[in-house]
Structure formats: structure tokens, C-alpha cells
């Protein structure tokens, strides 16, 4: 295939979500949009399925309405109840008609219909061309019925938009469920692609970071402020925020203890909250009475907290979970309009989506461990558009101070992670707005040579083209086994293929180049093994026939499959290296039905059709040939490899596993003559080259990873130096 074919293939490997929507000129969008909002809406329409992860106060609801105007003839917006009513008013403000409905029969025949999450099952998604999830953080928990219902209901809706405040990049489930709702990638596929699981849970593969940020930016626009997209921040400065913890002394003592100690677990937290209720309520009421002309939000966690506080603040309106949806919506809208001075409610009821920027005073009558609701509750008042300093009081008793410090710790972590998210996606998002593609990893080339070797840094599919036709006598190598982002971040890395089809298409470029380079009648020796399948990525636990697929790929390129050699492996050594459940004594004794045999390595031998120009004269004895001609190679020392530690990148998820030198030696001595050229398109740290030089062959190789390439250069230089070192007999001969 041509250079252009390979370039197009690499572009197709980029982990970005292509545009599948409509191009709407920005001048056709609502004139009330700010410049950054206009760019975001135009981008989301072009994508067709996208998320706006904009922080509170950046106008997500307005942007969603404008998006809904253009996305389809009929659009359904789903939002929390009070947010739905507020959005209707937002539409009136901007001249956008929005119909609130509780069922399909009440929905508008054209235009925008909005409902709340509790009513969404009463609508027929097939009648809407577009859907918006406002406050889409409802997708955060993959175990809820709402999450699964929304994903299943709108699976076939052409246009989809999610709107939520910026998630933390460690919120794997939240990001994965958003991606699954939008039809981008399932949660399990996202985990398998970008993350690995160890004893401490899911962690991002270091080499996957640039791919992850680019992938995320191709379907989600994450903003803390307009300047994140390169726009002016004028008008988007947050006012001062003061958090004032009030830690009350208390007579509370746990049963059987002389004094209160740090709380442990949910049960102790709930017990102390109930038993210190009166002290906290009275302190909160005193704070609220001290500023009688201010609007107040009092956040409670227990119904009794709310009821006792309401009794102490006569003009306060208490909103509980048992209240009708209409009453909740009516009170919240009146409070937003300044018609109600004080509301008392739970963060689980009113902390998502509501705009209470007219209120600059809040009090928490106690605190839970949820940072999400703590953050969202404060942001109802402390948001862009708030004109006054915001004061938030947190009333706790001494034993509960540990809860406050726990939330502060989560806040620091979330701020750090959110800053990392914004910093990493900013350039990708700007490229998205410009409809351009930014590379996820730099690509560099270089070259080093010795007397009998040449090592190229770069992409094998391209750099092999620099070599002349039919110049290689033997190839020995081990290809990557399709393990995503383990050793590099490059799309040019054969291992960084998301699907088997993509992997074999990529590998095909290299197999065809090796066919062109190899002399007629000569040999390629390919080291392979069966590849374990993963439940997250493949849907099952088992093995994939990588050797069989390699044979089919070589035969498709014109090669002749000539031999298969099994390399005997020790199951105990493999168990210690891989920690495989199927190779453990525990499985053998508990349920040997889960036990399996060790995964063997194989050498697949391929011949290029045609007559050899000269015969190969192996330098091994007949007895050694009998051993090496067996279809099972024993005696291969598993630890007899070059030292890989010096080549290891700190971001490598797995240790590099160089090919055993004994295996390479058998291939080199069986299928090449001294002085001939041995090639490896995946040179790694130079193992094939070192053995070739030790046995008086020449070597040429290509390696993509710069760390491995530099290590290979050093190994080849050392091997050449050792090969040229005079022996004692040489010195005696020269002296005589």
C-alpha cells in the first residue's frame, strides 16, 4: 500500500469521536449567547452527541435550549423537577418556547419539551430526534435504575447532549456512563482502554493519558471559565467565599465510653448526628437570626433537623422529600425570585441545578461525607453572576469535626484533579472548536550505526520502506500482542489497537514490508503466544488464538507457513510472573475446574516463495540439530535475556519482556549463514541484534520507543566490542 494509505490508516486510529451532527453557522445561533457559549453550542451541534461539562454559572441551560432549537424538530430535555420549571422561565427570558410535560400526551408536537427524571419513562423516545440530560450527574452511579433506564431509552436517539458541572478525572464511572449514554464507548470498554486495575482500584495507564484527554475532548467540553477555551473572562469572576466552621462543645458520649472519640463508620456518624441535633439546630437558628434581612438556605440531613429549625425560624419554608413535586418547584422558584426569605431543605433535594444567586448566606446544620453534595449546595449561591460575597456556616459538634476534615480532604483532591483535567484538555478542546486534530504523542526519528549493524528509530511501517528490495536474509522478532498503552502513547505503536481488526490491519503493513525486503526462499521467524482475553474488554475470560491469526495474516501477504515450534514453559514461573488465577495452587485445591496449563510460546516459521540464491549451511552438529529440530524446544532459559531494567520507562504499566537469547540463537544459527543480514522490525532493546553479532551476522532493526532504541544502541555497541576483542590465541599469533 502507498504512504497515503498508511497515513489515512493512522488517522483512523486516533481515539477521537468523529463529527456526526450538523454544521450550524455561529451567526445563526441565538444572539444572546456569549462568544464561548456560541463556540460550545456550534461544536456540540457538529458532534451530534456531546457533553457540556461547564462549571456552575456558565449558562449550561441556555446553551442546551439553543442546541435543542437546532438539533431536531422535536427535542426532549430531562432535568430535575425544579430545574425543569426554571428552564421554562429561562426559555421565556430568551424567547425560546419550552413546554413542560409529565407524559407523552402533554408534549409539544414540535419544538422543545421538558420533563423531570421521575417522569421520563412516560415518554416515547422514538418520537424525538434529540434529547438533553440537564444535570446529567444522575449518570454518575452505574448501579441505579435511572442510569440504566436513560441509557436504554435513548440508545437510538440521533442527537444527544449531556450538561453537568465539571467532573473530576478520577470519576471513572461518571465519565464512563456519560460516554455510554452518548454512544461513544461503554464503561467497561473505557476501563480496558485507558485504565488498569491493581490492589488499590482503577488507575489510568500513564501512556494512555494523552489519548484519554484527546478522546474525552472529542465528545466533552470541560470548562471552569471562558479562558479555558481562549475567550475573555470578563464578567466571570467569582465573588469572595467564606467558609466558617462552628464546632460546638457537646455532652455527647458514646455508650460505654468516658469521652467522645473520632467517629468511625456510618453508624457512629448517624448516632452522633441524631443525639446532637438540638445543639446544632439552636446554633444554626442563632446565626440566621443575626442577619434577618438576608436570604438564607439551611441545608439539613435529617427530617427532624429541618422541622426543629423551621419551628425556630417562623418565616422559613421547609421542603421535605414527601412534598409534592409541584410544591417543591413552586417554593424554589419563589425563593429564586426573592419572594421567600429562607428555605430549609436537604442537598439531595435542591443542590443540583438550581440558581439561587440572589442568596448569599447558607448554613449546614451538620454535614455528611459526600463532597459532591457539599460542593453543589454551595454552588447554588457561589456562582458566576453572584454580585455579593458569599458566607457559608457549617455547624458541627466536636466529635463530628472529623467529617468536616474528610470533606476538606476530598475538596483538595477534587480541585487538584479538576485542574489537571482542564489543563490537559484545554489544547485538545481548542483544536476541537477549530475542527482540527491534535496529535496525542510526538513522533521522532533517528539512526545509529556500527560496523555490522544499523538501528533506526521510528515507525516500522514507514522506516522499513527505506531498505532495498530483497536485502534481508532472515527476520527474527516478537510483535506486540495488542496490549493498549502499556509501553508507549503513540498511535504508531502496533500494540495500541482497540480492536483485533485494527491490530491486524496495522500489522499487515509491516508483514507486507517484510515480504518485500526478504530474499526469495528465505525465512521469517515470529515469536508469538496465545493472548489472555479480559472480561472488561472482550466480554469473557479465556485465551485468544494469536498464533493462528498471525499465520492467516502472513499467508494473506503471500508467505508460506513452514513450521511451528512450541517453547516449553514452567507453569510455576509463569504463575509468579503473571499472578494468574488459573495457575495458582489455590484454584487447584478449591476448584480445579478453574485451573489451566501454562501459556506456551511459539516460533512460527514462514518462507518467502522462490528459489534461494545460495544455500544455508548451519554451523550446528547433528546431535544439536536433533534437539533443535524437535517441535518442542526444551532448555530455553526463561531468565536468559538482556537486562530490560535500564530501558524501562517509569510510565510503563508492564515490564518489558525481551525475547530469550537461547530462542534467538537457535533461529539465527538454523536459518542463516555467517555474514548474512538479520532483521527485526520490533527491535526493542536489541536482543536479536546482539545474538546476530555474537554469531558473526549483520543486523538491521527498527524500534519506535526512544528509550528502548537508546538501550538497544548501547547493547549493540557492547556486543560489537566483545565480538572484536582479540582472544589470547589471537595475541599469541600476532606475537609470533
Computed from CA positions of residues 594, 600, 601, 604, in that sequence, does the dihedral angle turn out positive or negative? Answer: negative
Grid cell 503471500 in the structure block, residue: 558
pLDDT-derived band at 735, boundaries 50, 70, 90: very low
**pLDDT at res. 81:** 79
Q: Please determine, looking at this structure, whether the domain spanning 446-565+599-731 carries the CATH number 3.40.120.10.
A: no
**pLDDT at res. 438:** 57
**pLDDT at res. 258:** 45
- Quote the DSSP letter at residue 468: P
| Helix ranges (DSSP H) in 434-488 | 460-463
Interatomic CA distance for residues 273 and 280, integer angstroms: 9
Considering only CA atoms, which of 652, 649, 682 is closest in space to residue 664?
A: 682
**Domain 241-415: CATH superfamily, name plus number:** P-loop containing nucleotide triphosphate hydrolases (3.40.50.300)
Residues near 395 by beta carbon (within 8 Å), at least 6 away in sequence: 246, 248, 280, 283, 284, 287, 363, 364, 365, 366
pLDDT above 80 (res 471)? yes
Same fold, 241-415 and 446-565+599-731: yes
Interatomic CA distance for residues 491 and 605, integer angstroms: 28
**Chain CA centroid to CA 161, Å:** 20
Say what the pTM is: 0.75
The mean pLDDT of the chain is 86
Q: Which residue has the higher pLDDT, 484 or 608?
A: 608
Q: Give the pLDDT confidence of 77-121 residue by residue, as tens digits.
A: 999 877 888 899 899 999 999 999 999 999 999 999 999 998 999
**Chain CA centroid to CA 702, Å:** 30
Distances (CA, A) of 194 to 11, 212, 505, 527, 697: 19, 6, 21, 27, 41
pLDDT above 50 (res 417)? yes
Domain borders along the chain are 13-229, 241-415, 446-565+599-731
Q: What is the mean pLDDT of residues 223-231?
A: 88
Interatomic CA distance for residues 592 and 599, integer angstroms: 17
pLDDT-derived band at 253, boundaries 50, 70, 90: low
Considering only CA atoms, which of 306, 335, 334 is closest in space to residue 320?
A: 306
Interatomic CA distance for residues 213 and 425, integer angstroms: 5
Q: Give the pLDDT confidence of 348-398 residue by residue, as tens digits.
A: 888 777 889 899 999 999 888 888 788 889 988 998 888 899 999 999 998
**pLDDT at res. 650:** 61
Q: What is the mean pLDDT of residues 270-285?
A: 91
Considering only CA atoms, which of 116, 112, 70 is closest in space to residue 91?
A: 112
Q: What is the mean pLDDT of residues 172-181?
A: 88
Q: Which fold has domain 13-229?
A: Rossmann fold (3.40.50)
Q: What is the mean pLDDT of residues 611-638?
A: 90
**pLDDT at res. 579:** 60
**pLDDT at res. 682:** 96
Grid cell 489544547 in the structure block, residue: 427
**pLDDT at res. 731:** 40
Q: By mean pLDDT, which of 65-69, 450-454, 530-534 is the weakest?
A: 530-534
Amino acid at each position: 500500500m502507498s504512504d497515503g494509505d498508511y497515513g489515512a490508516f493512522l488517522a483512523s486510529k486516533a481515539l477521537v469521536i468523529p463529527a456526526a451532527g450538523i454544521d450550524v453557522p455561529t451567526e445563526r445561533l441565538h444572539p444572546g449567547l456569549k462568544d464561548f457559549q456560541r463556540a460550545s453550542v456550534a461544536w456540540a451541534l457538529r458532534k451530534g452527541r456531546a457533553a457540556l461539562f461547564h462549571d456552575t454559572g456558565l449558562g449550561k441551560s441556555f446553551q442546551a435550549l439553543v442546541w435543542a432549537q437546532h438539533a431536531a424538530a422535536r427535542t426532549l430535555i430531562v432535568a430535575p423537577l425544579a430545574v425543569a420549571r426554571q428552564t421554562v422561565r429561562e426559555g421565556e427570558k430568551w424567547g425560546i418556547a419550552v413546554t413542560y410535560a409529565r407524559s407523552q400526551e402533554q408534549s409539544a408536537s414540535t419544538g422543545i419539551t421538558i420533563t423531570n427524571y421521575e417522569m421520563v419513562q412516560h415518554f416515547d423516545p422514538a418520537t424525538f430526534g434529540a434529547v438533553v440530560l440537564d444535570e446529567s450527574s444522575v449518570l454518575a452511579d452505574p448501579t441505579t435504575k435511572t442510569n440504566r433506564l436513560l441509557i436504554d431509552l435513548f440508545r437510538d436517539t440521533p442527537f444527544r447532549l449531556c450538561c453537568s458541572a465539571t467532573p473530576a478525572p478520577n470519576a471513572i464511572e461518571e465519565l464512563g456512563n456519560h460516554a455510554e449514554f452518548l454512544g461513544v464507548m461503554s464503561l467497561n470498554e473505557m476501563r480496558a482502554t485507558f485504565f488498569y486495575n491493581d490492589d488499590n482500584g482503577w488507575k489510568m495507564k500513564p501512556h494512555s493519558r494523552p489519548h484519554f484527554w484527546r478522546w474525552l475532548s472529542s465528545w466533552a467540553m470541560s470548562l471552569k471559565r471562558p479562558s479555558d477555551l481562549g475567550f475573555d473572562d470578563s464578567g466571570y469572576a467569582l465573588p469572595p467565599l467564606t467558609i466558617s466552621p462552628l464546632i460546638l462543645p457537646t455532652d455527647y458520649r458514646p455508650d460505654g465510653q468516658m469521652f467522645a472519640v473520632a467517629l468511625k463508620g456510618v453508624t457512629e456518624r448517624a448516632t452522633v448526628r441524631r443525639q446532637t441535633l438540638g445543639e446544632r439546630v439552636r446554633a444554626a437558628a442563632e446565626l440566621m437570626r443575626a442577619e434577618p434581612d438576608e436570604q438564607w438556605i439551611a441545608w439539613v440531613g435529617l427530617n427532624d433537623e429541618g422541622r426543629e429549625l423551621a419551628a425556630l425560624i417562623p418565616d422559613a419554608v421547609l421542603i421535605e422529600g414527601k412534598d409534592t413535586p409541584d410544591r417543591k418547584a413552586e417554593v424554589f422558584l419563589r425563593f429564586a425570585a426573592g419572594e421567600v426569605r429562607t428555605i430549609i431543605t436537604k442537598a439531595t433535594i435542591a443542590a443540583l441545578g438550581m440558581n439561587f444567586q440572589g442568596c448569599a448566606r447558607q448554613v449546614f446544620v451538620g454535614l455528611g461525607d459526600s463532597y459532591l453534595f457539599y460542593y453543589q449546595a454551595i454552588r447554588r449561591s457561589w456562582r458566576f453572576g453572584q454580585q455579593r460575597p458569599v458566607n457559608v456556616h457549617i455547624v458541627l459538634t466536636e466529635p463530628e469535626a472529623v467529617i468536616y476534615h474528610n470533606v476538606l480532604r476530598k475538596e483538595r483532591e477534587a480541585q487538584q484533579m479538576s485542574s489537571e483535567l482542564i489543563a490537559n484538555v484545554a489544547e485538545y478542546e481548542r483544536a476541537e472548536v477549530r475542527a482540527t486534530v491534535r496529535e496525542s504523542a510526538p513522533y521522532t526519528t533517528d539512526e545509529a550505526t556500527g560496523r555490522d549493524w544499523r538501528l533506526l528509530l521510528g515507525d516500522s511501517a514507514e522506516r522499513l520502506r527505506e531498505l532495498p528490495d530483497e536485502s534481508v536474509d532472515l527476520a527474527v522478532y516478537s510483535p506486540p500482542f495488542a496490549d493498549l498503552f502499556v509501553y508507549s502513547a503513540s498511535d504508531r505503536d502496533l500494540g495500541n489497537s482497540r480492536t483485533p481488526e485494527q491490530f491486524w490491519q496495522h500489522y499487515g503493513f509491516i508483514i507486507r514490508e517484510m515480504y518485500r525486503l526478504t530474499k526469495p526462499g528465505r525465512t521469517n521467524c515470529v515469536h508469538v503466544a496465545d493472548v489472555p482475553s479480559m472480561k472488561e474488554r472482550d466480554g469473557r475470560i479465556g485465551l485468544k488464538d494469536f498464533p493462528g491469526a498471525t499465520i492467516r495474516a502472513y499467508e494473506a501477504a503471500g508467505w508460506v507457513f513452514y513450521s511451528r515450534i512450541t517453547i516449553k514453559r514452567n507453569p510455576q514461573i509463569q504463575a509468579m510472573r503473571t499472578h494468574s488465577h488459573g495457575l495458582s495452587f489455590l484454584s487447584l485445591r478449591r476448584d480445579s475446574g478453574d485451573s489451566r496449563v501454562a501459556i506456551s510460546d511459539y516460533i512460527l516459521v514462514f518462507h518467502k516463495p522462490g528459489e534461494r540464491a545460495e544455500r544455508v549451511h548451519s554451523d550446528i552438529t547433528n546431535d544439536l540439530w536433533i534437539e533443535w529440530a524437535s517441535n518442542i524446544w526444551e532448555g530455553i532459559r526463561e531468565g536468559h535475556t538482556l537486562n530490560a531494567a535500564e530501558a524501562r520507562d517509569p510510565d510503563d504499566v508492564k515490564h518489558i519482556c525481551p525475547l530469550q537469547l537461547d530462542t534467538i540463537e537457535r533461529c539465527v544459527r538454523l536459518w542463516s549463514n555467517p555474514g548474512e543480514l538479520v532483521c527485526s522490525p520490533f527491535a526493542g532493546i536489541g536482543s536479536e541484534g546482539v545474538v546476530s553479532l555474537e554469531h558473526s551476522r549483520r543486523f538491521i532493526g527498527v524500534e519506535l520507543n526512544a528509550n528502548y532504541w537508546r538501550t538497544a544502541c548501547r547493547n549493540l555497541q557492547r556486543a560489537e566490542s566483545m565480538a572484536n576483542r582479540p582472544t589470547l590465541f589471537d595475541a599469541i599469533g600476532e606475537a609470533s
